[in-house]
Amino acid sequence: MSIAKMKKLEVWTLEQYSAGLTSELIKLRCVAVDTVLLTEGKTYRYDVSAEKRRFEKERDEVAQAIEAVKPFFTGKSPLIKKKQHADITLYDGSNEAALAPSGGGAGDTAGERGEELGRELASLRAELSSVSAWRELSVPLGGVKTSKTVSVIGTVPSSVSDKLIEEKIAGLPIAFSQVSSSSSARFMLFMVYGDAPDTVVRRLSPSGFVKAEFPGVEETAAEYRKKLSAKISETESELKSVTDVLKDNAVLISDFEMLWDLRETYVAEAEVREKLACTSECVLLKGWIPEKKAADAEKILSSKKCAFEFSDPSEDDDVPVLLENNRFARNFEWVIGMYSLPKYGSFDPTFIMSVCYSILFSMMFSDVGYGLLMVLGGFLLPKVLGLEEKTARAFRMFGFCGIFCMVSGVLFGGYFGDLPLAIIRFANPGAELPATLALLVDPVIDPMTFMIVGLAVGFCHLIAGQVIKFILVLKTSVFDAICDYAFYWIIYAGIIMLILVPGNAGLYTAGAGAFLVILTAGRKEKNILMKPVKGLLGLYGLVNFGSDVISYARILALALSGTVLAQVFNILATFSNAPAFVCIGTPIILIVGHILNLALSALSAFVHTSRLQYVEFFGKFYEDGGRPYIPAIPSGKYTTIEK
Amino acid sequence: MEPTTAMTFAEVFNNIFLDGKVLAVLAAAIAAILPGMGSAKAVGSVGEALDGLMSEDPDKFGKGFLLQALPATQGIYGLIVAFMVFGQISAVSSGIEGLYLFGACLPIAFCGYYSAIRQGRVAAAGIATIAKQPSASGKTVITAAMVELYALLSLLISFLLVNQNPFVH
């Protein structure tokens, strides 16, 4: 429940050792490297752009090789791919070749050539099929020209008769004949006297004539087909040999994947080097490291040729923020991260927020059945799918919320909506059923009471936020804390007493609180006349607080929409007792309907709970604006060292 | 001579409106139609934006899909209210009861329609944001979901009005 204490790390080394140093720091997996500011004319940056581009190019080659050989991988490929256990940092330039002797190059080039051949083959086959219709043509496909005549070939729709063509070219010295025909088109040869073959096209194109062009083909169609067929079989055999190369390389796919991670790590190293400041001989690196990891780093750094220093952050430092929480609360850290991390050195509300979050979420989605599904999905899926820790945490958060949903489901009577009742009603229409399964209150039967429960929970949530602020202010000024918060609490207590306790005790308490607020809210105003005005304005805080409380009415709205939608599906599923419907319709409607409702309601509950945290709760005390702590680490797309 | 078999205009009017069942059906219809139209328009326009995004980067489907699903809820809220009215139609016996149900459906009908369209616009803008800043996808969901509140509130009031129907209880 806190923000990890950070140490500032500064490392100086000589130019020749700097490359080794950056790779060591990446292996440490805990140093967030900052860009060192340059002093004009004295320090400069490494120009790593060429180096980085080379690494990126090599990495992309491996990526292409992976894509190229993937279709030919015949080994067992599990449904869900788990990462290989391998420490990529154990490899470097000297033993990189051990990973994949060809460095992915063979797969890459073969993949490219394969694609090229595939394209070529497709175009050859298309050409072959377009030539087929002309195989009876005895003149060269590309056209024949004598001193007086020129040939034109093309197609007309089969509805165009010889008579029509004759009419169209009447008066011109043109002879024509049909070469072949298909169901939709006639393939025609025209011999044009003179040197104006365009005349045919001009006269006939309104009737649907399309000129067929085979530029540069001097053979007749039959000869050209033979040539094409030979070329196709040649290309096919080359493609086969390329495919063989890919097949041979496919067994290396896991090596290629490790190689990708290795090369991506080189890119990450180059990115670290970009941030350093250098003189002609010396290099300076600045970064941040969690206090707990400082000892490990010290051990490694002392064995290297460098000078280093750990120091505490100063006031002006923009320290990166790493949240540290217990096994329950750390799954909710990403919800805070989505808003904004707390400022370094401020209060980390993750634990309190995660408890409030689970409670509010479960009230919006109070159902034992859905809760159970969320518990199963939230805790099992990350294990089954082998998810990364970051994604797994989001799943586990919903798992924990699911536990709360099951508890609230018992209290507010949700078991996939009213499924148990619906089934009994269906099986035995005459049975006397209870109106609800709820122990406490059913949002559908008694929405007003449920809304009051929701508002009460909201009230506690807001007060919790104010208590946090109260404690924070208490550290600097006890008087301010009491004036700005405790006096308001007296008013709230009075209002609650007014509702719950008969008599005027509540009125007097609230009145006393209001008097104290009016008296003190203007205390910082210098102008004596403005003091009472500011004092009265202080009461406006009540309106703000009231509207914040009303905002929790959404709990009722969400609880209703989820529950009623579930009931709608239950009614649809038990609509008819025809055997066919019961066997097929009922299970389908129940499964599809409840999965849909689970997805919709969980999403709504997630979004609206988040909003209540961000706006209503955090608004009371939160100091945002923390910069996330992102250490430089080796790439782990395909490999992991986690056991 | 008055025809004895044909209904008079007054009787026809009586049958259609004063019986109340027709008004109740219209109530259920408007509760399903308007929010459904709004959701269809919104989900459609967000889908178009998402398809545009995927033409550049198909991997962003997962992030954008959530945004596309958000304005679909209004149609479902309308369905819930329509369904509840549907359950009461057979019990309606007077014009005023039908009119009551009709009025009860108006909040979700209009607010559902309008909020779906406005939410769709925010969600479509969110898709544009994801194109440039994939890391902000969570926040775009939040901004789009803010609009949802008003659909929820109108659902709440329509629900309470239908559920606490004084003519039934």
Mean pLDDT value of segment B76-97:
88
Secondary structure letter of residue B15 according to DSSP: I
**Contact: A338, B142; criterion CB under 8 Å:** yes
Higher-scoring residue by pLDDT: A372, B7: A372
What number is the ipTM of this complex?
0.70
Q: Identity (one letter) of the amino acid at A43?
A: T
Interchain contact, B156 vs A553, CB within 8 Å: yes
Query: Within an 8 Å CB–CB cutoff, is residue A460 touching chain B?
Result: no
A–B CB contacts, 8 A cutoff, strictly below: 60
Instruction: Check if A637 contacts B (Cβ < 8 Å).
Output: no
**pLDDT attached to residue A441:** 93
- Shortest distance between the Cα of B146 and any Cα of chain A, in A, equals 8
* A470 or B20, higher pLDDT: A470
Alpha-carbon distance B76 to nearest alpha carbon in chain A (angstroms): 8
**Considering only CB atoms, which chain A residues are within 8 Å of B77?**
561
Residue A265 has a CB neighbour count (10 Å cut-off) of: 25
Q: Taking CB atoms and an 8 Å limit, are B145 and A557 in contact across chains?
A: no
Mean pLDDT for all residues in chain B: 87
**Contact of B82 with B36, CB cutoff 8 Å:** no
User: Residue type for A545, please?
Assistant: F
* A608/B149 touch (CB, cutoff 8 Å), yes or no: yes
Backbone angles phi, psi at A210, to 5 degrees: -125, 120
How many Cα atoms occupy the beta-carbon half-sphere of A193 within 13 Å? 6
- pLDDT confidence bin for B3, thresholds 50/70/90: low
Q: Do A561 and B148 touch (CB under 8 A)?
A: no
The residues, any chain, with a CB within 8 Å of residue A359's CB and separated by 6 or more, are A404, A457
Predicted local confidence at residue A450, as pLDDT: 93
The reported pTM is 0.77
DSSP symbol at A44: B
| CA pair distance B160, A559, nearest whole angstrom | 13
Q: List the single residue in B with minimal CA-CA distance to A563.
A: B80
CB nearest B73 (choices: A553, A604, A610):
A604
- Give the nearest partner residue to A556 out of B66, B84, B156, using CB atoms: B156
Which of A452, A560, A563 is most worth mutating to test chain B (most B CB atoms within 10 A of its CB)? Answer: A560
Residues on chain A touching B155 (C-beta within 8 angstroms): 557, 560-561
3-state secondary structure string across A168-231: HCCCCCEEEEEEEECCCEEEEEEEEECCCCHHHHHHHHHHCCEECCCCCCCCCHHHHHHHHHHH
Closest approach of chain B CAs to the CA of A294, in angstroms?
30
| Chain A residues with CB-CB distance to B169 below 8 A | none
- Crossing angle for the helix pair B73-88 and A554-573, nearest 10 degrees? 60
Task: Tell me if B152 and A561 make a contact (CB, 8 A cut-off).
Answer: yes
Q: How far is B1 from chain A (nearest CA, A)?
A: 50
With a pLDDT cut of 90, the percent of chain B lying above it is 43
The pLDDT of residue B2: 55
As averages over each run of 10 residues, the pLDDT of chain A (643 residues) reads 90 88 86 88 85 89 84 71 73 66 70 84 87 82 80 86 84 84 87 76 84 82 88 90 82 83 89 89 92 90 89 91 93 89 91 96 96 96 86 94 96 94 89 89 90 94 95 92 92 92 89 92 85 87 88 90 91 88 92 94 90 89 88 85 63
Q: How would you label A422-461 residue by residue, b for 16+ Cβ within 10 Å and e otherwise?
A: beebbeeeeeeeeebbbeebbbbebbeebbebbbebbbeb
The amino acid at A373? L
Q: For residue B79, which residues of chain A lie inside 8 Å, CB to CB?
A: 568
Q: What are phi and psi of A245, to 5 degrees?
A: -60, -45
- Give residue ranges of B with CB < 8 Å to any A CB: 66, 69-70, 72-73, 76-77, 79-80, 83-84, 138-139, 141-142, 145-146, 148-149, 152-153, 155-156, 159-160, 163
Ordered DSSP codes for A533-591: HHHHHHTHHHHHHHHHHHGGGHHHHHHHHHHHHHHHHHHHHTS---HHIIIIIHHHHHH
Measure CB to CB from residue B138 to each of A338, A556, A571 and give the nearest one.
Answer: A338
A607 touches B: beta carbon within 8 Å: yes
The pLDDT value given to residue A73: 80
| Partner-chain residue, chosen from B70, B72, B152, that has the shortest CB–CB distance to A558 | B152
Q: Which of B76, B145, B155 sits opposite A607 (nearest CB)?
A: B145
Top pLDDT among A435 and B30 is at: B30
Contact between chains at A447 and B160 (C-beta distance less than 8 A): yes
Q: Strands A639-640 and A84-85: what pairing?
A: parallel
Given CB atoms, is A594 within the 8 Å cutoff of chain B? no
User: Taking CB atoms and an 8 Å limit, are B80 and A600 in contact across chains?
Assistant: no
